[in-house]
DNA sequence: AGGGCGGTGGTACCCCGGTACTACGGTGGC
DNA sequence: GCCACCGTAGTACCGGGGTACCACCGCCCT
């Protein structure tokens, strides 16, 4: 038995999906969510095998919800439904960790088999989207065209940082721990934490690892 | 009406495909080829809509044949059939310009709908392969500046690592958390931890931050 | 005199990362 | 046939990292 959560802001759409899914012996609809945060909450609560996720929803959208659901490490798989054939968000969904995406005007059988594939750990992509996906894939693989490397010492992402914060980010980029930073810069560890916390917030990094990467990417720290 | 050429070195296999295809009103088998060069010659002669291409064939293999067929600029699409679920040649086939690949143990309906999708210009990938494809895709995406594939960031500190460990280190270098690595590479988090632990031990890194820095310094990961 | 901002510091809490084990199937070498 | 190695997976534990919130000081600006 495969359990499914439906996340879509349109009630009528949800109804249609529910009817279709309930007509199958091996599928059960655990519930319906009208936006991303509901989907997130209900997923944490109900642990469905598959979340049928619409992208465009008020509040938290389907991409962010997907990212967070995947981040939980749960077995729950996310199958994204896009309205349009070409939906650039579909790629974002992919990067967010979705196990597949289908277009809403797909045949019912496609949707059902897609759900079953995803539930069993496979991934699915709508044929009409697969083409673009493959194109993007082969482009990115051997894409020798190195593009401009524009060093950008003053990267936009760093502009919000104060002088002190940039100093801290530099040593974070060198791999120093909070304790080491505190000792070598004669600060309290709590101060270091405050600084690092603000750096993460301002640069949109989720942890110091991302900050290290940012430091390298912006050439604030050079490879040795 | 969709015309198909079957390229496979096993007669029995060809027979099965032919029977299946001939049972459909909208599909016609134009001929059968037993190896890559035959497939190439017959394609130039018969101009089928789709070539059902096996990879492993004596003489010219399916990859090379695909490459040459695509190079002609004809409308002919190539649908690759792989025997094994994980067939690294599948990726090569993709890069060679194939419009899709399916595993041979797929359901007949899958094969038929795959042929029709390919004939109409879409692309198809077997669900069991899509998973790996997506993994490769998301891995290669952020790589952006794709450089020529000079492998082997020849650093002494990396020499002790196994191939798998180098893979893991690469994604660690991209800032993925253990949970994300587990999810996107289909591993248990404990496995990821084991790998990361061994990487840290072998490279003499005290934590993953040092490993990220190492990945950058050795150019295992390039700034984006 | 007041207010904003940057730098410093503190407390409390939770989760992820890292360590230390053990274990088991597959593969390749001897 | 056996053994080493690799990749996978599990449990248990602890410490550091990150967050939320608050607080004080010194500076500059109006």
pLDDT digits (tens, 9 = 90+) for B59-111: 677 777 888 888 777 888 888 886 544 444 555 666 667 888 777 666 777 78
List the single residue in B with minimal CA-CA distance to A174. Answer: B213
Asked, for residue A150, whether it belongs to a domain, the answer is: no
For residue A147, what are the CA distances in angstroms to A67, A127, A223? 29, 30, 20
Asked, for residue B224, whether it belongs to a domain, the answer is: no
What is the rounded CA–CA span in Å between residue B123 and residue B80?
A: 11
What are the start-end ranges of the H helices in B72-174? 88-95, 108-119, 127-140, 163-173
SS3 B219: coil
Average pLDDT over residues B160-187: 86
Asked, for residue A20, whether it belongs to a domain, the answer is: yes
Residues B203 and B100 in one domain: no
Q: For residue A30, with 0-12 CB atoms within 10 Å meaning exposed, 13-18 middle and 19 or more buried, which class applies?
A: middle
Residue B21 pLDDT greater than 80, yes or no: yes
Residue A40 pLDDT greater than 80, yes or no: yes
A14 sits within 7 Å of strand C by its CB: no
What is the rounded CA–CA span in Å between residue B189 and residue B132?
A: 18
Asked, for residue A147, whether it belongs to a domain, the answer is: no
Residue A215 pLDDT greater than 80, yes or no: yes
A7 sits within 7 Å of strand D by its CB: no
Q: How many residues are given for chain A?
A: 224
Task: Report the CATH number that the domain containing residue B170 is assigned in CATH.
Answer: 1.10.10.10
List the single residue in B with minimal CA-CA distance to A214. Answer: B223
A159 sits within 7 Å of strand C by its CB: no
Nucleotide nearest to B197 (CA to C1'): C18
Asked, for residue B147, whether it belongs to a domain, the answer is: no
- If pLDDT is split at 50, 70 and 90, which confidence band does A58 have? low
What count of CB pairs under 8 Å joins A to B?
124
What is the rounded CA–CA span in Å between residue A21 and residue A23?
A: 5
Residue B136 pLDDT greater than 60, yes or no: no
Residues B70 and B163 in one domain: no
Domain C-terminal end among A140, A165, A194: A140
- If pLDDT is split at 50, 70 and 90, which confidence band does A72 have? confident
What is the rounded CA–CA span in Å between residue B113 and residue B125?
A: 11
Average pLDDT over residues B117-139: 65
Given strand B27-33, what is the order of strands in its sheet?
B27-33, B2-7, B50-54, B77-82, B100-103, B124-125
For residue A26, what are the CA distances in angstroms to A2, A116, B131, B206? 6, 9, 23, 48
Which residues 179-218 in chain B have a CB closer than 7 A to strand C? 179, 190, 193-194, 196-197, 200-201, 206-209, 211
SS3 A105: coil
What is the rounded CA–CA span in Å between residue B172 and residue B184?
A: 12
- If pLDDT is split at 50, 70 and 90, which confidence band does A127 have? low
So what's the pLDDT on residue A138?
47
Q: Does A60 touch chain B (CB under 8 A)?
A: no
Tell me the residues of chain B between 151 and 210 that have a Cβ less than 8 Å away from chain A.
173-175, 177, 179-180, 182-184, 186, 189, 207-210
CA at A191, C1' at D25: how many angstroms apart? 14
B153-163: pLDDT as tens digits: 455 667 778 88
A209 sits within 7 Å of strand D by its CB: yes
CA at A178, C1' at D25: how many angstroms apart? 23
Looking at the structure of chain B, the number of domains it has is 2
Residues A132 and A160 in one domain: no
Residues A134 and A37 in one domain: yes
- If pLDDT is split at 50, 70 and 90, which confidence band does A12 have? low
Please answer whether residues A74 and A102 qualify as being in contact, where contact means their C-beta atoms are separated by less than 8 angstroms.
Answer: no
Q: Point out the residue among B145, B175, B182 whose CB comes nearest to the CB of A210.
A: B175
Q: Point out the residue among B95, B127, B219 whose CB comes nearest to the CB of A141.
A: B95
CA at B181, C1' at C22: how many angstroms apart? 23
Place of tokens 């499914």: A4
So what's the pLDDT on residue B148?
27
Place of tokens 């025997």: B83
Mean pLDDT over each residue of chain B, to the nearest integer = 77
B188-214: pLDDT as tens digits: 889 999 999 888 888 878 889 989 998
Indicate if the alpha-carbon torsion angle A173, A179, A182, A188 is positive or negative: positive
Q: How close A60 comes to chain B (CA, Å)?
A: 21
Give the domain range for residue A170: 156-217
How does DSSP classify residue A139?
Answer: H
A150-194: pLDDT as tens digits: 333 455 667 778 888 888 999 999 999 898 888 888 888 899 999
Residue A201 pLDDT greater than 70, yes or no: yes
Residue A56 pLDDT greater than 80, yes or no: no
Residues B178 and B116 in one domain: no
So what's the pLDDT on residue A182?
87
So what's the pLDDT on residue B153?
45
**In terms of Cα–Cα distance, which of A155, A162, A136 is closest to A213?**
A155
Which of these ranges, A1-5, A123-127, A141-145, has the smallest mean pLDDT? A141-145
Asked, for residue B150, whether it belongs to a domain, the answer is: no
Asked, for residue B174, whether it belongs to a domain, the answer is: yes
């Amino acid at each position: 038995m495969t359990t499914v959560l439906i996340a879509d802001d349109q009630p009528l759409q949800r109804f249609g999906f529910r009817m279709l899914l309930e007509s199958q012996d091996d599928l059960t609809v655990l519930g319906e969510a009208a936006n991303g945060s509901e989907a997130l909450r209900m997923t944490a609560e109900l642990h469905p095998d598959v979340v049928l996720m619409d992208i465009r929803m008020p509040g938290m959208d389907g991409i962010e919800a997907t990212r967070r659901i995947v981040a939980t490490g749960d077995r729950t798989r996310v199958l994204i439904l896009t309205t349009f054939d070409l939906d650039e968000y579909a790629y974002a969904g992919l990067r967010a960790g979705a196990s597949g995406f289908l277009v809403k005007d797909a045949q019912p059988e496609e949707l059902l088999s897609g759900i079953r594939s995803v539930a069993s750990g496979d991934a699915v992509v709508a044929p009409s989207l697969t083409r673009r996906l493959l194109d993007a894939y082969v482009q990115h693989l051997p894409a020798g065209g190195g593009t401009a490397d524009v060093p950008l010492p003053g990267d936009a992402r760093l502009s919000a940082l104060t002088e002190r914060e940039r100093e801290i980010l530099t040593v974070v980029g060198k791999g120093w721990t909070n304790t080491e930073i505190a000792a070598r810069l004669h600060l309290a560890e709590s101060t270091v934490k405050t600084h690092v916390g603000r750096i993460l917030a301002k640069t949109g990094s989720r942890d110091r690892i991302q900050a290290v990467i940012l430091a390298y990417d912006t050439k604030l720290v050079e490879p040795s």
